[in-house]
A and B are shown apart, each in its own frame.
Chain A
């Protein structure tokens, strides 16, 4: 059976040995190629394979008032996450979670689907949980395998003021937001970014620098340890910003404006600092933080008074008589104009075939410039319009900063309108308007539209004789250049004394603005602006002088009536509350 002899030739043997070593050689050559020649490349590949970079967000800078009181703080809240790969019986667990913390189980499921990115990547189930809710969950820990929580910092408003239009809010960076950002590399999905107000304007200061650390992962993306050879970078907290706001003043303004529509601004003309600013109605500053219920959002969005609109920045109003100082200054520029010359006011003035009335139907009688300012006589100004033309007047308006942004440190300002010849030609056609338009514009009506913040800048410039810096909310080293109205020193004196008279005189329209505080003098001008939305807007703008320090004020009450009857008393309330105690609110 085994008789057949081996007949293999030596040649066959050599072929077999040759093939064997040839194949072994091929393999060795390939290993040499990969391991020796390609070593550097693969070494780097192996490193990037296992090392993951993780960034941690830095705590955002705080927002303080001028005295160092915290207006915007950070509050730790908790985010509940689950690692899908470690989660079994999802339905039961989500049910347990929602029962424990009192949340709709549908929300939990919805979040889970929305944020799911991978089997071993923490997936957000709920955010803004309190310590109390977390401790309740901790009691059920054994039934919640695969569920984790993380602490995150959220904006928190410890002071009594709202200041929502000033502070603004944060927004979570999602894909659309990130696309729209200029420095999009500095943001990751899920980060918070200042989206409005000071939070937006001073984002680069508040943001801080994120921390970076590296960890080693396995092929499933699970964290298995830190990487010792790469130094972690700790997050750098954002810088705090000190605002010009005074919590005390802001609180007074907010209280006085409760239930009213309009604006109050209080500032310091010399520095341009704003002590308090209210656009009413407003909203709670934490409206955009944390859990917002849909109906709450709808209520804010669909409110007829539009609380989301920042009235002092975006609102466009006819100014009415509060701009008569501009008209007066324009008159004084003309050497032919004599301020002591008397004009007769009979309550009505005929220009061409049209009748223009004074606000006082029976007329003011004989008026010089001071009297016209004190009584806010319209006819006096109608009768003097031949001393200037439209472009001269609009130049004066512009020199006080109207029809241009004030460069205040919150973005979204409206420009306002100061009509010029070119503007009127464009609007009405070359022959569609006449010089009569000046009659409206010189008393702050007609095409003229201003924002309250422009009015504050205007009044600051008046109080400082044209030297006030731009109004601002945050203490900064360098401010943008402000408009510089230039008038004779005697003209400034006249305008300022006339404004004092408008409050101090027994006939003064602004007399109810003066509080009964010794050493406190109010200067100002009322305005009653006719507008297409119903009742007149009530204006008062001016300042009070206390111990050689001026505090400017702008009051606008929408559709509230006359400036003299409504706005001026409001000014009195503001100043008397601000300066009621010995220790002045303002330091």
Chain B
């Protein structure tokens, strides 16, 4: 079997399955823990709306609390860059449409090239910050660095595909790097892509019940 065939076939199925089942298991791991019923008299009853509000509100910087401004701006930049590369680049949309039947219009290629550059530079700055900032160095472990690597890898291998027509070997490597990311995603911090909804919802619902600040 050619490497590209392997990457497009069994490796893709395997990695997608690990990602889906791994994430489901991780979420189940949270949901299986006991739920403590709060018997206090609620100040507000719109807790579901509060949970959903928190999911949206926490996308913005907190009010009145200073955060690491440069790091936060950088995080916005590379998350948006990454989202555009994944979901607005024509070949990626075609790839998704081929497997799911769902497609949408792409952004012009030059825009996604800029987005790629922003994502790559942003990730490099993030790594540099993590390596030099005392707080981040203290907090960081294998997960942080490996998650960085598997996020950067598809971007870097994707860049190698830019001189068209794409070389099958590089295409295979690009796909395999994506598959590595999918396999790792449920186990490390990248799972925040799903966990963000759970933890923000929890705080949103609990704090809304009290009328406390989010």
A and B physically associate: no
Which residues from chain B sit less than 8 Å from chain A, CB to CB? none
